[in-house]
Amino acid sequence: MGAVVAASALLLGCASVYNEPVNVPVGPNGPTDTLSLNFADPAALDDLLIGLSFSGGGTRAAAYSFGVLQEMDNVPMPRSGDKMVDRLDFISGVSGGSVTAAYFGIKKRAALTDFRERFLLQNAEAGLQTQLSLGTIGRALGGGINDSTAFTKWLDSHLFEGITYSEFRRIGSPRVWINASDIYNRVPFVFGATAFEAICSDIGKFPLSQAVAASAAVPIAFAPAVVQAFPGKCNTPLPSWVRRAAANRNASPMLNSYAKAIIRYREGAVPYIKLMDGGLVDNYGVAGFTITRESSDTPYGPLSPQQAVRLRRALFLVVDAKTGLSGNWVNTVQGPDGIELLKAAVDTTIDASVGANYTAFDRTMKDYQSSLIAWRCGLSAAQRASYGARPGWNCRDLQFFVGRLGFDQLDGERAAVLEQVPTRFSLPQAQVDEVIAAGRDTLRASPVFKAFVAGM
């Protein structure tokens, strides 16, 4: 008994594992970069709106979303020599899906030629301790087995090369959202202008690798990523929708909670924002789309009036690489225990959130379509002309296509195999290629996708 007590004391006495914040306050001249989507890009000038959301799930999720991008490279766009992959407007990424989203955001089509070799076939767990054991349990109890240092260095050396958000945002479309979870406020933390302006921090100087690492910070395996708030360092007022949504009892729960978190950031009630895997609150990564639309003050936001008039077809696809059911503890009275219990709790949290988030997203997009049509049909002839409506323009010629791609849409035997692929950042080549192929096949077979292509 004495040995057990001594060992327990030794483990609990280990130093805490934590991450130092790397974000910086805004300077006297404001943020380094306030550039939004570059609307000179071809993707922003056509009559289509294409958005993708890449779920979490380690390398498996990264490979699945990569397969979807590969298949989009086989779809020609009307009246041009481009392929659909060249015309993406928005991509949202969570955890493993955030790696694909970020790298594609940097390299565009060129990412299709080397992402498999540079990331999917690599061991991104190199330099990390990935097993909970007597040797690591002290660190786990102290905040997490790993801090983010090794993983962010690996991401920069293999993929991102130290790029900051200022450089990232200047590259142009698609606009990319990286999502983590604020585990104190229990809301999504979307790396972008809204959150960083609220904490008076310069998003332009923030490293992309840090955002991706925060998005993939699985509990216990990693200590939370930390972003510091700098209350009083800026005087830019919060957007008007924030206080309105926070005070509105009829606002959607997601928007209301997010707005209250933004206010806490600005008021200094949360000096250090602790971030973990984005899948804990939104494994589909659709919260950013939903919040952006629901917070808009206009029927057409976040589009400009010109884009809203030009738009004819919109496609929003959730690329879902979620895990299947696992564990044999349902066959006994005992269990789950230890690691199995932790994994079951995390999986339950993630699966419970995705259905509600997707339902809210689908409802928001349907309402958005209706609002756009009503606004367009209410324009005067002079307004239509000023916004670029062409002769014969039909205000009702607008259709949204919202869908989900998942392993379960393949045949049962193949789906069962794919769902058992581990959610790690190191997989054998055969599994990687099998998941990539699944991404291509599910997109090709998707009724929603086929209907959108026909409508182009």
- Provide the annotated active-site residues: 95, 277
Measured distance CA(54)–CA(63) in Å, rounded? 10
**Helix ranges, 378-401 (H):** 381-386
Residues 6+ apart with CB under 8 A from 137: 11
Q: Do 157 and 151 touch, CB atoms closer than 8 A? A: no
Answer yes or no: are the C-beta atoms of 196 and 190 closer than 8 Å.
no
What phi and psi, each to the nearest 5 degrees, are found at residue 310? Answer: -70, -30
**CB atoms closer than 10 angstroms to residue 312:** 15
Q: How far apart are CA 173 and CA 34, in angstroms?
A: 15
Instruction: Quote the distance between the C-alpha of residue 159 and its chain's center.
Output: 18
Query: Residues 209, 160: contact at Cβ < 8 Å?
Result: yes
Least Cα distance to 147 among 220, 241, 54, 74 occurs for 220
Q: What are phi and psi of 27, to 5 degrees?
A: -80, 180
